[in-house]
Chain A
Amino acid sequence: KNEVEQSPQNLTAQEGEFITINCSYSVGISALHWLQQHPGGGIVSLFMLSSGKKKHGRLIATINIQEKHSSLHITASHPRDSAVYICAVPSYNTDKLIFGTGTRLQVFP
């Protein structure tokens, strides 16, 4: 069974700071997903990546397949980035996802 570990569990930052959230998994995968859960509860997909790096606005996701590790970076953080960020990997390369417990980020003005 693939285990997914995220760190840190909680993160506070001042507006403008550079944020890094880490995700490690235990077995080989075809892709890794990063999701965002808003304070209101809704969950949206941010990235799906299988190699290298992807960027969307101030968000950057990287993955190192050999080290079984991914990072989510937020540049110039803003209070509206406050959310729970969740890492997930496919189970046996299917659409069944295994989720990490999430990283709760709070960005203060």
Chain B
Amino acid sequence: NAGVTQTPKFQVLKTGQSMTLQCAQDMNHEYMSWYRQDPGMGLRLIHYSVGAGITDQGEVPNGYNVSRSTTEDFPLRLLSAAPSQTSVYFCASSYGLAGGGGKNIQYFGAGTRLSVL
């Protein structure tokens, strides 16, 4: 099993460009999420999904869009990149909310380092 696969690993964008960060998992997990990690701050939740067709906003959703058409894939779209979106992005998945009660182990992708100039 590959686990959680993120692509690309590195990306440089110019202000105003758009792009999609890909995330795929092969563990049949219902819950998937996107976090950003900035220096001196903990991981912050951007968007999450509790299953195919269902997404919701996290703590810092502005400037990002997501969709979940399949259980496996959860892409994150930057609509018009801004320098404030320079960060490291992590995708994670876990078995799911139902019955989990916060006790499900989360599996992380390797991260995407994004720079917006």
Contact = CB atoms under 8 A, between A and B. Distances in A.
Interface in A38-85: 41-45, 48, 50
A90 B103 CA distance: 8
Contact of A101 (B41, B90, B111): B41
Nearest to B48: A96
Given A30-B103, A31-B102, A90-B102, A95 B97 contact: yes
Contact of B107 (A45, A91, A99, A102): A45
B108 interface: yes
Contacts of B44: 99
Interface in B67-117: 88, 90, 92, 94, 96-97, 100-108, 110-111, 113
Chain B, interface size category, equals 20 to 34
A89 B88 CA distance: 21
A29 B103 CA distance: 10
A41 B41 CA distance: 15
Nearest to A32: B102
26 contacts: A4-B42, A30-B103, A31-B102, A31-B103, A41-B88, A41-B111, A43-B90, A43-B92, A45-B106, A45-B107, A48-B103, A48-B105, A86-B42, A86-B43, A90-B101, A94-B97, A94-B101, A95-B48, A95-B94, A96-B58, A97-B43, A98-B42, A99-B43, A99-B44, A101-B40, A101-B42
